[in-house]
Amino acid sequence: MPRFAANLSMMFTEVPFLERYEKAAKAGFTAVEYLLPYAFSVEEVAAPLAKYNLTQALFNMPAGEWDKGEKGIAALPGREAEFAKSLETTLAYAKATKVPMVHCMAGYAKGVDMAEAERVYKANLAKAADFFAPHGIKVGIEPINQRSMPGYFLRTLQQAVGYIEELGRPNIKLQFDFFHVQMEEGCVALKLRENYKYVGHCQLAGAPERNEPDTGELRYEYIFKVVDELGYPGYIGCEYNPKNGTEAGLGWFAPYKKK
């Protein structure tokens, strides 16, 4: 049976961030993920995990000036020093939360020479993988669809898998988001099977609206069956926008929640 992580950046937003851990636990989740923890201290994001017996499944590395629209810097020429500095910051939070994988966002490559962006991206990704490997931490890369984020550097599974194979670091993993794959490429279950050996983390949302998984065109009952058949051991991150309030939309989760 699949296991799920509540995404606290998108779910339970009816309450302040640090109160969302309790909400997730009471709703039956055993794990959480979120985008960026860095507005809070290491202690503030670690303590609720122990208090509510939750596992930290994933979070993102520092991703540039998020409030100004940036979505990562790994593929941005001229930001290499900033990227290198972010590794130490990430590690402090990773150690405190015992997270197994961090998401390295590539960023927008608009107006950038693509060959240079690719060179910088590969160098930064290799640096991150080598930095985190001694700590047992994986580095996730996630193709993001161009409808949601036009101009994002990493957009297809083929592109992501190509970098994983070329760089040859065993701790670089594919972050397989069913929503993004459906919106960019389709054939979600088939592509999950084809690329499963690279997968380190999965995420879900209904497509195309990105609401609960029981909305939209994807049949998640079948996808969850495939996930089980493949023996996926991790959590599936619930990275969706609740349509009419988080708790009102958790009917899909009832068969899977902690009793």
The tokens for 16 are: 């302040």
Quote the CA–CA distance of 55 and 34 in Å, as a whole number: 12
Choosing from 88, 116, 239, 247, the catalytic residue is 239
Q: Is 142 among the catalytic positions?
A: yes
Quote the CA–CA distance of 162 and 82 in Å, as a whole number: 25
The type of residue at 235 is Y
The count of C-alpha atoms lying within 13 angstroms of the C-alpha of 37, restricted to the half-sphere facing its C-beta, is: 34
The type of residue at 153 is F
Phi, psi of 232 (to 5 degrees): -60, 120
List the alpha helices (DSSP H) in 5-113: 20-27, 42-51, 80-97
Nearest Cα to 222, choosing from 252, 188, 254?
188
Nearest Cα to 226, choosing from 184, 259, 178?
178
The tokens for 135 are: 């700590």
3-state DSSP helix/strand/coil % of the chain, to nearest 5: 45, 15, 40
Choosing from 142, 194, 221, 247, the catalytic residue is 142
- Residue 253 is given by DSSP the state G
Q: Is 194 among the catalytic positions?
A: no
Name 164's Cβ contacts closer than 8 Å, sequence gap at least 6.
Answer: 141, 172, 173, 174, 198
Give the catalytic positions in this structure: 142, 239
